[in-house]
Structures are given as C-alpha cells and as structure tokens.
Structure 1
Amino acid sequence: MPNKTLMVQGTTSDAGKSVLVAGLCRVLARRGVKVAPFKPQNMALNSAVTEDGGEIGRAQAVQAQACNIPAHTDFNPVLLKPNSDTGAQVIIHGKAVTDMEATAYHHYKTTAMSAVLDSHQRLCDQYDAIIVEGAGSPAEINLRDRDIANMGFAEAVDCPVIIVADIDRGGVFAHLVGTLALLSESEQQRVIGFVINRFRGDMALLQPGIDWLETYTNKPVLATLPYLQGFHLEAEDAIEQSQQLTDEKPLYIAVLVLSRISNHTDFDALRLHPQVNLQYIGPNQTIPPSDLIIIPGTKSVRADLQWLKDQGWDISITKHLRYGGKLLGICGGFQMLGTQISDPLGIESEAGSSDALGLLDFTTMLEANKQLRQVSGELVLNHSAVDAYEIHAGVSTGPALNAPFATINNTNEGAISEDQAIIGTYLHGLFDHSEARNALLVWAGLDKVEAFDYKALQEQEINRLADTIEEHMDLDKTFGNQYS
C-alpha cells in the first residue's frame, strides 16, 4: 500500500463493504497489526455509543470489535441519521450538531470533510493500518461533487481502493465495469482490484468471466468470496429477518417495525436464540398472537407514535395485554408507553405535544442535549447484571418511574408496571448479554432458558469471515506484501 490506508468501496449499497472491512480488520489483527476501521460518512439509524461518549454507526462498532479495540468517534466522524425522506440529524465527531435538509447538507460537506480528515490523521498517528469503508457507490454521479464518502476521500488522502460487488444480485460484471467506467482517470488508477462477493456455484463456470473482466479492465480480481450460509454480522441499516419459525421454539416475540426504527440490532440476539420465534411486523400487517410485543427505538418518536396508531397497533397492544401478554418499550418505544411526549423545541419534528399510549404514568420532554453513555447495573426483576448503552433526547418523569426496571449507578432507570406485564427502558443492547437476556426471557414466558452465548457467536462469525478471506483472497496483492 502507498500508505497505511486501504479503502473498500462497493458497486451498490449492501454489496458487502461493511462485512469485507470487518473481515480484513480481523485478518490483520490476528497477524499482530495495530489496525482500525474508518467510515468517513455513514447514513444509518443503527448507532453505537463509544468509549469516549459519542455516537457512531453500528457497523463501525462491529468493525472495532474485529480489530479487538474499543469503538471511538474517530472511526466514523460523520454520521447522518435520517428523520424524514429529505432531512437528517448531522452528527460530527460523535455529537449532534444540527438537522439539515439534503440540499443544505450538500453545501455543508466542505466543513464535514475537515472533520473527516482530522479523524483520519489522528488514526494515522496511532495505528499501523486503517481499513476504510465507503458508502453506497462511487458511481453515483449526482453525489460526486464535494464527495467525502467515496472517491472524494480516497483522492484527498491518496489511498488505494478495492471495489466489491455482490454476485448474488446478478449482473456482477456490468456492476464492476460500469462503476469503473464512471470514475475519473485518476480514480480509476487508484483501484487496485475487485472482490466478487457471495458466490455460490461452480467456480469453473465463473472463471471465463473473471478472465474477461481482468483483461478488459486490466485490474485483478483479488477474491471471489463464497456465500456463507447462516452467516451473521450486525447489519449496518437493513433489517435482517431470516429465521425459520417453528413450534420447537416455544416463545413468540413480535417487534414492531416503525417507520424510523433505530437500533434494530438490539434484537439480533433474540432472533438467533434457539427458543425464540421472532417476527418483525411491518406496515399494514396484523400483530400475530405473541408472548411479547416489543416497541423499539425510533428517530422520530411523535411521528412514529402516530404511525403506530394509524396501523391500529395500539388497539392490538391493548388486547394483547388484556389476554396476559407482555409488552416491552425501548427508548422511543419506552416514551410511547407514557401519557404524553412533548417536543417544545422541535427537536425531532414540528414543535408540539402528543398524547402517548397511556399505559404507564409518566411524561417525556425532548431536550436538545442527547443522552449518550455506556452503562452497567442490575435489573430489578431478579438482580441480574446488565451492560447496555443509552442514546436518547428525551427526559422522562412521573410516578411510574418509582417502580424502576433497573438500577444504574444506584439510580432508578425505566419502569415496570404494577402487574409486571409492561416494561419500559432507555437501555439498548439489553439482550446481548446472557444474564439480562435470560431474566427477560423468563419474564416473557420461558420456563427454562437454554444456554446461548451471543458474544461468543459474534466472535465465531467474525473469525469465520476472516478465515474465508484468508483462504480466498490474494492478500499479498491486496496489501503489497506489507503484512505477510
């Protein structure tokens, strides 16, 4: 590599950029290289709280895990969290600075690029290698001006680029050739090769296409990575719904997919649990008979509260509780359980107040300063230990909070109803750790919880990915023999 930085760009969204970066990070970490992930600009509603008290894209937290280092705000200096079809909250170095419409943000990119380059320089000073993830596609012509997410960044720091394409989508050769053709001459020159992702089939049938691609573009195919059956890595944004519902799994959980759902990775450990049938319930769908309904977090709580009511889900929730079901609200979902949500400053939308579901006696006021912290404590249910994180703009007060769900640093957190049928909490990541997850599954209706180590599964999957990359990727060409 000409410098410490290698960038992975993709022909499309979900081509495999996040996964490839995580895998390359673990490959280098296992070789003793001090490596860090980096994404100049991310647009996602899945986020994580860093050790330094900021907010970054969830994918970069997973990539940091692959590097065996704590997540830091420099790994994702610009995070955009959409709050409408045309606008987003702009987070710089882990802190929300403003809300912007897309056109205004386009002009703001020069300022954002300064933050990106500052973070990148700090990482260069601390690490031996930086593996960078692009966003979307570098061939999005309408976004090329003032680009900070793809080739604009690569040109600014003069780093080599790999382009990855998903063959499972079809049209892989058109994707790769077309993307390369739409780059400038200098951008084309910095592309050191291609990665074909998610291949399943006879390699002998693909080889003629690879030979043609290499001859036509004069670029090597650095890897053809196989489709990994049952592979799990936390999604950057799209909801992963793959699960086989079966009567052998006794507990049924329904997660309501709000229009601005955030941090749905909270439920990955449930979706993968051997005793849980988990279903995501989307618009115009009826909530099926369930042991537990979960109202998740959202970037636009008042708008999604109305959206929930428009679906008729409030009526379904009332019926569910009447027949003995359990209800859990997390973050924005917790705020919906109260009597009122007020947004006098217009933090998330137009200023105003909304009547909430009225299931617990408390109110919420949205404030300008967002709460961002990693926490630990114990659940009131059975004193189980809990490690989690908070990301919210609301402050909740009221009598219901006198019966807390958890204690964090000797402070009450959340609420649990008198009949223990309803729990509300600001804690994200509740189900990632066995002790708290087991306590909640028993509360939801499981008599006996089977052992399931989600953290061990995450590590197993990251190592499986790294093993696959080491087997199928020409790492000497990728890194120029630097880390052999």
Structure 2
Amino acid sequence: MTRALMLQGTGSSVGKSMLVAGLARALTLRGLRVRPFKPQNMSNNAAVTPDGGEIGRAQALQARAARVAPSVHMNPVLLKPQSETGAQVVVQGRVHATARAREYQAMKPSLLPFVLESFARMRDEADIVLVEGAGSASEVNLRTGDIANMGFARAAGVPVVLVGDIDRGGVIASLVGTHTVVAAADRAMIQGFIVNRMRGDLSLFADGMAEIARLTGWSALGLVPFFQDARRLPAEDAQDLLDARPERRPGKPCIAVPLLPRISNFDDLDPLAAEPGIELLLLRPGQPIPAEAALVILPGSKATIADLAALRQEGWDIDILAHRRRGGAILGLCGGYQMLGRRIADPDGSEGPPGEVRGLGLLAVDTILSGSKRLEAVRGESIADGVAFAGYEMHIGTTTGPDTARPVLRLGDGRPDGASSADGRVVGTYAHGLFGHDAQRAAWLARLGTTAAPRSHDAEVEATLDALAAHLEQHVDVDALIALAR
C-alpha cells in the first residue's frame, strides 16, 4: 500500500520545503515512486503545470526532485496574497475566489474535499507521498476547519514529523511548546522531530536532542547541518528574497531590481544571481536605484496597480525615468511590463479595487486587466537575435498599443509577445523564465557588455538536489522515516 508522511513545522520558513525536496530526491534515488503534496500553500511564486494550472513553486521543485512532472494535485489550494488581508484562492490549479482572511477561514471546510481528492490521486501514483504542512502546527487559534496541518493529517490519517529551526534560536522551546499547546488527538499524530539548520559542531546539541525527546516522547530523527547551497534552489517566500544578500561584485555591470510588496515569480532572478560577471542588486524600500545600473528589471507582481503605487511611493519611478534619460536599459516582466505602459485599467477588480491608473509611460502600450488567466508553457526565440528560449506565461489581461508592433519574442505558435521602445532600450514581455535558459541569459548579458559564465542553470539545480539528498541521507534517519510512513 502507498505510504504517506507529513512534515509540519514549528513555524514558517523552518525549511520544510527544502527537506521535502531533498527527501523526494533521496527516496527517488532509492528506487521509490515519490509524489510531493502540500494541501494549502501561500505564495506568489508559482509554477505552471502541464495539466493547465498553477501550483506553488516549491511543489514544482519537489516534483522535479522526484523526477516527475508537476501536477495541480500536488498543491490543491494555493493562496496568492493581493493585499495585507486578502488573497486570491486557487483550487486545483484554477482561480476559485478572492477572499479576505476571515472569509477564507469560513471557506476552508468546503475546500477539504478538493484537498482529499487531490491527495488520493497522488497516492494512486506513488509508493510514498511526502506531505508538507504550512506555517506553524501550533497555531491552535486557526485549528478549527484547518486543512493545512493537523486538520489534514487527521482527515487523511497521515503521521507527522515536526521540524524546528535551530538557526532562529529557541528550538527546544518551539518543539516542546508545540507538544504542550496542541490538542491530545493532534499530538498523537506526531511521531518524531527533526532539528534543521544547525551551524557548527553537531555534538554541541546532542543533549538538546535528548532533552526534546525526553520532554515530548517523540523520536529524534535528525539534526541537519545548515545546507549552504539551498540558495541555489528557488525560494518559496518573498521574505526569503528580502533576506537574501547577493554577493557584491563592484566593477561588474549592475542589474537593479526594486523589490515591490507583491512581487511574484521572483525565481526569474535566480539564474542572474549566480552569474559572476554581473552584480544583481535587490533593492529594499528606502534604497535608490543606482545611477550606474546597466539594466533595471521590473519583476512580476500579483497586484500590478498596488505595486505601481508602492513603486511611486518609494520614488523609484523618478529613478527609473532618470535611468531612461541617461540611456539605461529597462526590462519589464509580466506585471513589470504592464507598469511600463501608459495606462493600466482593472474594470472588474481582478487584482484589487476596480479602477484605472497612469503607467510609467515608457512604452506606448495600454493594459486592461480582464478575462481569464493565461497559464501555459511557452517556447520560441527572441526576435532581435533569434536566440531560443523556454518559459511560461501566467497573467491576466491584454496589452495593446503601437509599441507591440516591435515585439520582443516570437512564440512557437507564431504569436508575438511583448513590446519595445523605438530605440530598443525599454522592453517588456509576458514570458517568465527567460534567464533560466542558458542561451537567452547569455544573450542578455552580452547586451550589457559582459559574458555569461560557462554554466548550465538546469544542471546546477539538479546537482544541488542530488547534494541535498546526500546531505539528508547522512544526517536524517531516512529508514526510520519510511518505517513511520503509513
């Protein structure tokens, strides 16, 4: 019978996603058919699936680790924040509703049947399903109607391993505290624990592992050293991007990226961060766009109009216009492309309150945010130089105007994509994943007067997953995890 095991956390960003990815690759290398599963995710970093929907980027990475195609059933409920209190609710890959936080709490019980249906589909395909929880298992105030953690574990009968992050400090309290606050029936689902991100001498925490085991009665299943190469894998949470510190490379061509509050699909930037011939500068609020920047990238956004307002509030619009006057290059990706135009209208309130705003006016195009979301893998070539690319589209709305007569890409079906200014210094495209294609990345860097490193981004991701699997095989009792799964 198919086995299943769930990794829950004492909090958000304790490393659950990376652990599931590494275990998925480790078990796949052992010859098992593995499927990842996350009942509910909250992220604006999403991936398009071959079955025509979208899931969290972390589950797409976990599918890759398991060497299978991603499916909407690996992440049946995806919340994509559009404001401080509201999110778009995606169910089995398609937009289901838009809800504020309290409305979503009332909605959750109606979503459990979708979650259990998707889980059953994954079990039918696998020898073992690795389930990832969301946030903290100890949020007892949200336990009623829960579908992300113990609510799912109990409904599906899946045993739980609890993950704590020692790098944050207080890991003993967080694990023992979870044991204390969760209900007895939920506590009974937890079979063991893993302490993640240990730095330094592992023997220094041996007594800590023993004390947690003594106080909880749970099995100590692993003390995992900090895995430095995790930065080579796509981040799930925008906070991870804010916490990132790309290596400073003075004297190299600088690519500046304003980090807007609702940035989406930010793994577009990962392949650039690994290029030694450039400096990728991720700008936090309060940081100006440097005058020496060779290229400014406006990334994707889950709420384009709101993020454009945030860009103006920071004064980045003034910096971008000055950059343009100096002859600098500008690239807009998806929502960033829409911001570069003359006008953005959202008549139906697709991404926020209905309305219309003035864009940056750097491309002679106008965008109307309406209609169904386009979700599809795309491939083709850049028109300027005929270089091939592969990526995906994930957006609503249509963009029209004179500058679309100078498209950036020609897609495989012959459809043009994007727009360019008359001098070619300002361009926008709806295609995500451009820089993940080695030849396309090299072409962009050549335009900046530098040379791409002789590297394959895909090969680096694969090598990192293999290294993560080996890391976990060394520091986690993988045999015990398999035995606990049921």
* TM-score by shorter chain over 0.5: yes
CA distance in 1, matches of 2:485, 2:264: 39
Out of 383, 401, 406, which is 2:404 matched to? 401
Q: Deviations over 1:335-366 (max 9, x none)?
A: 01111111111111111111111111111011
Q: Secondary structure at the match of 2:371?
A: strand
Contact 2:159 2:485 survives alignment (8 Å): no
CA distance in 1, matches of 2:166, 2:450: 44
Worse-superposed segment, 123-132 or 201-210? 201-210
Contact 2:369 2:397 survives alignment (8 Å): yes
Contact 1:337 1:358 survives alignment (8 Å): yes
2:123: which partner in 1?
Answer: 124
Q: Deviations over 1:85-124 (max 9, x none)?
A: 1111010010002111111111111111111001001111
Q: Deviations over 1:187-241 (max 9, x none)?
A: 2222111101111222222111212222222211100011123432211113432
Contact 1:381 1:439 survives alignment (8 Å): no
Q: Deviations over 1:140-186 (max 9, x none)?
A: 12211100000000000111111111101111110110012222222
TM-superposed deviation, 1:473: 1.0
CA distance in 1, matches of 2:145, 2:465: 34
Q: Secondary structure at the match of 1:255?
A: strand
2:235: which partner in 1?
Answer: 235
Contact 1:370 1:393 survives alignment (8 Å): yes
Out of 414, 420, 425, which is 2:418 matched to? 414
2:76: which partner in 1?
Answer: 77
1:343: which partner in 2?
Answer: 346
Contact 2:202 2:225 survives alignment (8 Å): no
What are the equivalent positions in structure 2 for 1:242-281 lying under 5 Å apart?
242-247=245-250, 250-281=252-283
2:213: which partner in 1?
Answer: 214
1:6 aligned partner, one-letter code: L
Distance 1:473 1:359, change over 3 A: same
The reply on whether 1:167 has 2:171 as its aligned counterpart is no
Q: Deviations over 1:372-411 (max 9, x none)?
A: 1110000112111110111111111111111010001211
1:424: which partner in 2?
Answer: 428
2:111 aligned partner, one-letter code: A
2:472: which partner in 1?
Answer: 469
CA distance in 2, matches of 1:463, 1:480: 23
Q: Secondary structure at the match of 1:368?
A: coil
TM-superposed deviation, 1:481: 8.4
2:319: which partner in 1?
Answer: 316
1:30: which partner in 2?
Answer: 29
1:46 aligned partner, one-letter code: N
1:386: which partner in 2?
Answer: 389
1:63: which partner in 2?
Answer: 62
CA distance in 1, matches of 2:108, 2:307: 29
2:20: which partner in 1?
Answer: 21
Contact 2:5 2:484 survives alignment (8 Å): no
1:425 aligned partner, one-letter code: T
Q: Deviations over 1:410-463 (max 9, x none)?
A: 1110012221111100011111110111111122x1243321211111111111
The reply on whether 1:359 has 2:359 as its aligned counterpart is no
CA RMSD across the alignment: 1.5
Contact 2:438 2:457 survives alignment (8 Å): yes
CA distance in 1, matches of 2:57, 2:484: 31
TM-superposed deviation, 1:3: 5.4
CA distance in 2, matches of 1:410, 1:139: 52
CA distance in 2, matches of 1:84, 1:244: 31
Q: Secondary structure at the match of 2:397?
A: strand
1:7 aligned partner, one-letter code: M
Contact 2:88 2:95 survives alignment (8 Å): yes
Distance 1:447 1:86, change over 3 A: closer
Contact 1:434 1:454 survives alignment (8 Å): yes
Q: Secondary structure at the match of 1:466?
A: helix
Query: TM-score w.r.t. structure 2 length?
Result: 0.96
2:235 aligned partner, one-letter code: A
CA distance in 1, matches of 2:361, 2:478: 58
TM-superposed deviation, 1:134: 0.3
Out of 380, 388, 394, which is 1:377 matched to? 380
CA distance in 2, matches of 1:481, 1:197: 19
CA distance in 1, matches of 2:105, 2:63: 29
CA distance in 1, matches of 2:276, 2:464: 17
TM-superposed deviation, 1:334: 0.1
Distance 1:284 1:127, change over 3 A: same
Contact 1:138 1:150 survives alignment (8 Å): yes
CA distance in 1, matches of 2:484, 2:356: 60
Q: Secondary structure at the match of 1:480?
A: helix
Contact 2:249 2:279 survives alignment (8 Å): yes
CA distance in 1, matches of 2:140, 2:449: 53
Contact 2:345 2:369 survives alignment (8 Å): yes
**Equivalent residues, number:** 480
CA distance in 2, matches of 1:30, 1:482: 18
CA distance in 1, matches of 2:209, 2:351: 49
Contact 1:192 1:478 survives alignment (8 Å): no
2:230 aligned partner, one-letter code: F
Contact 1:44 1:236 survives alignment (8 Å): yes
Q: Secondary structure at the match of 1:273?
A: coil
Contact 1:255 1:279 survives alignment (8 Å): yes
Contact 1:381 1:405 survives alignment (8 Å): yes
Contact 1:165 1:196 survives alignment (8 Å): yes
CA distance in 2, matches of 1:481, 1:302: 48
CA distance in 1, matches of 2:452, 2:150: 49
TM-superposed deviation, 1:482: 8.2
CA distance in 1, matches of 2:197, 2:484: 26
Q: Deviations over 1:299-356 (max 9, x none)?
A: 1111111221222211111111222211000001000111111111111111111111
CA distance in 1, matches of 2:450, 2:250: 16
